[in-house]
Chains A and B, each alone.
Chain A
């Protein structure tokens, strides 16, 4: 840094502390703004993550393979035209983080008291333990212990409605590929809880082999799923699954195609963060420009002297811009610290169960766990600095355009 820049920067620094009260108020405003930007973003990001994670736990899987007609007509008639054994071999060899093949069809479940429409899942419990939406810790009874398990696991809310419990029998009705009615009695071996109560009403689980026998489909499934490390980085998994299924008449979709609501969440979230950060910045910028204008106005005479002594206008501009940037950087440091601290304070989440059903309507659970992502923090800080730079150009430009004679003779 040359001498001129250094002296301009030093002057900027000292001028900042000349009117401590004003600087303190502006710092407080910037800090609160930065805190609000980052903290609310972390909360929203946390909520979105939770919604997507919950949503994906039911889908489940980041990438899914179906019969081309299955999504429009989720019937047992639309089976993947590849034998399950063959699918399993292919997915096993590919080395995904997690994968599974399953049967998912609509069905009707009846106790002696009640009848309800549900989604019947035929799964391989050993595979799905890692990513199931069933909370295995609070499970009443036991989980399925193999693909040939003859029992059924149902949700707590469904159990209540059906007035049934572990050990009792229920009847499940569905159809086989030829539209013949398939019905069969199952013993309830487990009653599960899930993060979102609506899942407890909708999904019942049986062993995959048992489901194949029940629905009269030999060694076939309706979906094959693969899960990668991160739901945001699904493209490699998608490519790999496409390669695995190359040549077979199936569709391969990423989760955002399968659940467009969830799919819209991520870009919405990014949009929200940007809009929120800019709105807060704009609210701040009036104060920032005002502070700079006042600060320049107070110093007209000094600025005139510096110009008269031969300092270039560009060095004056630099001085004002540095002053503004210092103000912003300090405000950001405090604001970031505050938001880290407040995010840390509620790292286990805040309980919003008083509006639990409303949150569920949005697909979110009753616990809000903030997620402070590097991306969002960087975005907020960069936006503030970049826009702050532009906002300070106008006062800086004004300062550098003073006529030294007039400035010196200005009565203050």
Chain B
């Protein structure tokens, strides 16, 4: 089954006088349950592609389907709904909400979804345990290390069991040990829950874990390799 299908996506930015082709006729299909790495140098278009798939950004032309449903024509509110229920995000700079504790950050999405308090708490604690943050639920982001914060962010992304998790440079701010732990966590989740992962990165270690490695340059896909994950 196809989790994500992109058909002929193009997107141009203006930066000062310069036109930047972030996406140049990109087409790609990603299977459900796959573990994909998008790799490209800075400005290569990987973040733009990720944002377009996540419904955060609209392409100038082309079509995007998530689980067979076309999303590039949806309204802002419909896109918000889509992200809320079916897509998990992990950002480069963790981006936790500073006034909420780790557990509350994880519960945030469920709360917006309207899940009851008891159920929310149970799931949040379970997922925090799964990402190795047992007993840290009541800490605020400022009281945690970068790796811990990023694990909270991952927990937040997967807690509502989205079919698709999008991660943009998740290891950029982490040391190598912590990065390994995080990737380990990703692959575990991928295997246990069958969650599709699309990770934009230029971290070689992360690429090593990918089952499919998509390389981009100047807004185009230049290489698409199936590999056996380490």
> Which residues of the partner chain B approach A408 to less than 8 Å between Cβ atoms?
91, 93, 95
Is A341 engaged at the interface, CB distance under 8 Å to the other chain?
A: no
In whole Å, how far is A14's beta carbon from the nearest beta carbon of chain B?
Answer: 4
- Name the residue on A nearest B99 (C-beta): A14
In whole Å, how far is A340's beta carbon from the nearest beta carbon of chain B?
Answer: 33
Contact A312 B82, CB 8 Å, known A4-B114, A7-B112:
no
Report whether A310 and B81 are in contact in the complex, using a CB–CB cutoff of 8 Å: yes
Report which of A11, A301, A305, A308 forms a contact with B99, defined as CB distance below 8 A.
A11
Report whether A305 and B114 are in contact in the complex, using a CB–CB cutoff of 8 Å: no
In whole Å, how far is B106's beta carbon from the nearest beta carbon of chain A?
Answer: 11
Q: Which of the candidate stretches B51-59, B128-136, B189-197 sits at the interface with the other chain?
A: B51-59
- Name the residue on A nearest B76 (C-beta): A313
Contact A11 B112, CB 8 Å, known A308-B83, A311-B80, A405-B57:
no
Report whether A11 and B97 are in contact in the complex, using a CB–CB cutoff of 8 Å: yes
Is B109 engaged at the interface, CB distance under 8 Å to the other chain?
A: yes
Contact string against A for B residues 83-105, beta-carbon threshold 8 Å, 1 for contact and 0 otherwise? 11101010101011111100000
Report whether B108 and A405 are in contact in the complex, using a CB–CB cutoff of 8 Å: no
Contact A305 B97, CB 8 Å, known A310-B84, A310-B85:
yes
Is A76 engaged at the interface, CB distance under 8 Å to the other chain?
A: no
Size of chain B's interface in residues, with CB distance under 8 A? 30
Report whether B99 and A309 are in contact in the complex, using a CB–CB cutoff of 8 Å: no
Report which of B56, B96, B100 forms a contact with A308, defined as CB distance below 8 A.
B56
> Which residues of the partner chain A approach B97 to less than 8 Å between Cβ atoms?
11, 302, 305-306
Contact A309 B84, CB 8 Å, known A4-B111, A408-B95:
yes
Contact string against B for A residues 295-329, beta-carbon threshold 8 Å, 1 for contact and 0 otherwise? 00000011011111111110100000000000000
In whole Å, how far is A406's beta carbon from the nearest beta carbon of chain B?
Answer: 10
Bound-complex Cα distance A340 to B19 (A): 64
Report whether A405 and B56 are in contact in the complex, using a CB–CB cutoff of 8 Å: yes
Report which of B83, B93, B95, B100 forms a contact with A310, defined as CB distance below 8 A.
B83
Bound-complex Cα distance A311 to B110 (A): 11
> Which residues of the partner chain B approach A3 to less than 8 Å between Cβ atoms?
111-115
Contact string against B for A residues 252-264, beta-carbon threshold 8 Å, 1 for contact and 0 otherwise? 0000000000000
Contact string against B for A residues 368-394, beta-carbon threshold 8 Å, 1 for contact and 0 otherwise? 000000000000000000000000000
Report whether A310 and B98 are in contact in the complex, using a CB–CB cutoff of 8 Å: no
Is B118 engaged at the interface, CB distance under 8 Å to the other chain?
A: no
Report whether A309 and B112 are in contact in the complex, using a CB–CB cutoff of 8 Å: yes
> Which residues of the partner chain A approach B112 to less than 8 Å between Cβ atoms?
3-4, 7, 309-311, 315
Contact A305 B100, CB 8 Å, known A3-B114, A310-B112:
no
Is A15 engaged at the interface, CB distance under 8 Å to the other chain?
A: yes
> Which residues of the partner chain A approach B111 to less than 8 Å between Cβ atoms?
3-4, 6-7
Report whether A302 and B95 are in contact in the complex, using a CB–CB cutoff of 8 Å: yes
In whole Å, how far is A68's beta carbon from the nearest beta carbon of chain B?
Answer: 72
Residue of A4, A305, A408 contacting most chain B CB atoms (<10 Å)? A305
- Name the residue on B nearest A301 (C-beta): B95
Report whether A309 and B113 are in contact in the complex, using a CB–CB cutoff of 8 Å: no
Contact A308 B108, CB 8 Å, known A4-B114, A302-B95, A405-B57:
no
Is A404 engaged at the interface, CB distance under 8 Å to the other chain?
A: yes
- Name the residue on A nearest B95 (C-beta): A305
Is A168 engaged at the interface, CB distance under 8 Å to the other chain?
A: no
- Name the residue on B nearest A305 (C-beta): B95
Contact A14 B100, CB 8 Å, known A305-B91, A309-B89:
yes
In whole Å, how far is B156's beta carbon from the nearest beta carbon of chain A?
Answer: 8
> Which residues of the partner chain A approach B113 to less than 8 Å between Cβ atoms?
3
Is B1 engaged at the interface, CB distance under 8 Å to the other chain?
A: no
> Which residues of the partner chain B approach A311 to less than 8 Å between Cβ atoms?
80, 84, 112
In whole Å, how far is A305's beta carbon from the nearest beta carbon of chain B?
Answer: 4
Binding site for B on A (CB under 8 A): 2-4, 6-7, 11, 14-15, 18, 301-302, 304-313, 315, 404-405, 408
Nearest 7 pairs of A and B residues by beta carbon? A310-B84, A310-B83, A14-B99, A3-B114, A305-B95, A7-B111, A3-B111
26 contacts between A and B (CB under 8 A): A3-B111, A3-B115, A4-B114, A11-B100, A14-B99, A15-B99, A302-B95, A304-B95, A305-B95, A307-B80, A308-B54, A308-B89, A308-B91, A309-B83, A309-B156, A310-B81, A310-B82, A310-B83, A310-B87, A311-B84, A312-B77, A312-B80, A405-B51, A405-B56, A408-B91, A408-B95
Known: A302-B95, A311-B112, A405-B57; 7 extra A-B contacts, CB below 8 A, are A3-B111, A3-B114, A11-B100, A308-B91, A310-B85, A311-B84, A313-B80
Binding site for A on B (CB under 8 A): 51, 54, 56-57, 76-77, 80-85, 87, 89, 91, 93, 95-100, 108-109, 111-115, 156
